Amino acid sequence: KEKKKKTDFNSYALRYFINGLILDSQGERGEAIKEYEKALIYDRDQVILKSAAEDYIKTRNFDKALEYLLEVLKKNPDDNATRQTVINLYLNRKDFDRVEYHLEEIVKRNRFNPYYSIRLIEVYLLNNKLEKALKETERMLTEITQDPEIYDQIVRSFHNNKKDDALSELFDKLRNKFPDNGKNYYGEALINDYNGEIDDAIENYEKALKLDKSLSKARDRLSKMYISDGKIDEACRLYKDIEVKNNTDFIGFVNVGVIYLQKGRFREAEKVFIKLTENYYKEFQVWYYLGVAQQSLREDEQAVKSFEKAISLNPDIDRSYLGLSTSLMNLGKNEEAILKLDEYLKKDPDNVNILNNKAYILHSMEKWNEAGKIYRRILELDPDNHLALNNYGYMLAEINGDLKEALRMGERALSFDPENSSYLDTVGWIYYKLGNLEEALKYILKASRKEGASSTIFEHLGDIYYRLGNNNEASKAWQKALSIDNSNTGVKEKLKKLEHKK
């Protein structure tokens, strides 16, 4: 007769086991353990052993927990979850020989799971068993996986244990064996990268990508190297003619576009973001940055559409409303711009960025009282808001308001950002209004020498020179203002008046 397989607890064991579970649910760990121990007198079942071990761990009796978990493994060597708990307990003891033994047991039973192999390699390295670590690494990279993330983890482990040279020799061996596999160049590039060997890293990343364009991590790392070295075109070349199919390449592509924006290469930035809209049309930041590029190119009608798309995808981001309102203002649609800002202010009435834009638009519409009320509200919310300090100070100068208060605010704004050309211009213009032309010239000359100095700054510079009687320099400054913004009718009138005086 076949022996009947045991499937049920002993009735006494079952009663004590259930009592233990109830006490466990009430947080009574010590009392639960007593009940589990009573159950184990009648039945050494794995379920009871593991429940008791779990409570022994929670009550920090690790020795007893380990004793019971090892008993479970004798009954069921394939219980990976229990074996991992045992490994963690031995790790707490820093008993790396036992950790190594149990990891080897797991790997024997899970030969194609890279997670366990990585952990085993790390322990081999800790135990100074370099040959075993290299052998398992080679097995994993040739038999299990070639996921670039695994290469990252392997290189990090060998680097942390100062075994870069040995791993480099292994990659050299694999490159000779598999010359068309770009990932082995990628592994070598990571070693170079970790050791600060930038030129070698660049060379090996390039080789990796030449063999395998799908290595998005190599492309990401290499593009960052080129960007940090100021080689923007080289970084952008890496993303030319590739299909953006994963998050790493998407982020890299966005970064390239943003760098183009920062460098003032707006047309190239626009091309990058237009390409991204093909596959990532649901990502609001793609449309937002496309709007920024178009706005910078003075393509405000297109920018409005892009910002509106960004808002439809994520209506909670204030910068999309800021971009939209600025483009509407550029198109002369000030009332519509204010309506869009008010739409956001219903959700967040104290958003100082939105309030600043609204105040600026009202200011440009010469609605001085309304603009002043908002600027004062911003400064109540944020007394150090240097944009509001600057803009309010400039507005007071324009309307010949309290010029001493305007100067105080302008100088305070400048203290936060001493190289800001707009802030320098504001302080200079207030001095101009106060009649202190020498101080005005000092600040506005400095502003005019900053990269991206506006048409208004050169107009002010011309005004100061004109008041000082230097018509030649005034003419040069006004002409520079027109070269930046040819629509400035005020400057055209000043130049015409100057011409008549000759």
35-91 pLDDT, tens digit per residue, is 999 999 999 999 999 999 999 999 999 999 999 999 999 999 999 999 999 999 999
Query: In percent, how much of the chain has pLDDT > 70?
Result: 97
Predicted local distance difference test score (pLDDT) of residue 2: 38
- DSSP-derived secondary structure letter, 350: T
Q: How confident is the model at residue 3 (pLDDT cuts 50, 70, 90)?
A: very low
- DSSP-derived secondary structure letter, 141: I
Predicted local distance difference test score (pLDDT) of residue 279: 84
Give the tens place of pLDDT for each residue, 463-473.
999 999 999 99
Determine contact, residues 144/114, Cβ cutoff 8 Å: yes
CA 168 to chain centre: 31
Q: Convert 89-128 to b/e letters by CB count within 10 Å (16 or more is b).
A: bbeeeeebeebbebbebbbeeeeeebebbbbbbbbbbbee
Predicted local distance difference test score (pLDDT) of residue 487: 85
Kindly list the structural domains of the chain, giving each domain's residue range(s) and its CATH number in brackets, ordered by start: 9-96 (1.25.40.10), 385-394+403-453 (1.25.40.10), 459-502 (no CATH)
* 322 closest CA partner among 305, 338, 299: 338
Across the chain, mean pLDDT equals 93
Task: Transcribe 419-433 into DSSP letters.
Answer: T-HHHHHHHHHHHHH
Give the tens place of pLDDT for each residue, 117-169.
999 999 999 999 999 999 999 999 998 887 889 999 999 999 999 999 999 99
Q: Return the higher-pLDDT residue of 257 and 23.
A: 23
Look-up of token digits 């229990």: 82
Determine contact, residues 171/192, Cβ cutoff 8 Å: no
Rg (CA), the chain: 35
Evaluate if residue 1 carries a pLDDT over 70. Answer: no
Q: What is the mean pLDDT of residues 219-225?
A: 90
Predicted local distance difference test score (pLDDT) of residue 8: 66
Rounded Cα–Cα distance for residues 126 and 133 (Å): 10
Give the tens place of pLDDT for each residue, 7-44.
467 899 999 999 999 999 999 999 999 999 999 999 99
DSSP helix/strand/coil, 153: helix
Give the tens place of pLDDT for each residue, 88-122.
999 999 999 999 999 999 999 999 999 999 999 99
Task: Transcribe 3-72 into DSSP letters.
Answer: PPPP-S--HHHHHHHHHHHHHHHTT-HHHHHHHHHHHHHH---HHHHHHHHHHHHHTT-HHHHHHHHHHH
Predicted local distance difference test score (pLDDT) of residue 452: 83
Contacts of 225 (CB under 8 A, 6+ apart): 198, 201, 202, 205
Give the tens place of pLDDT for each residue, 292-301.
999 999 999 9
Q: Convert 358-381 to b/e letters by CB count within 10 Å (16 or more is b).
A: bbbbbbeeebeeebbebbebbbee
Could you tell me the two tokens for 158? 């060998």
- DSSP-derived secondary structure letter, 482: H
- DSSP-derived secondary structure letter, 343: H
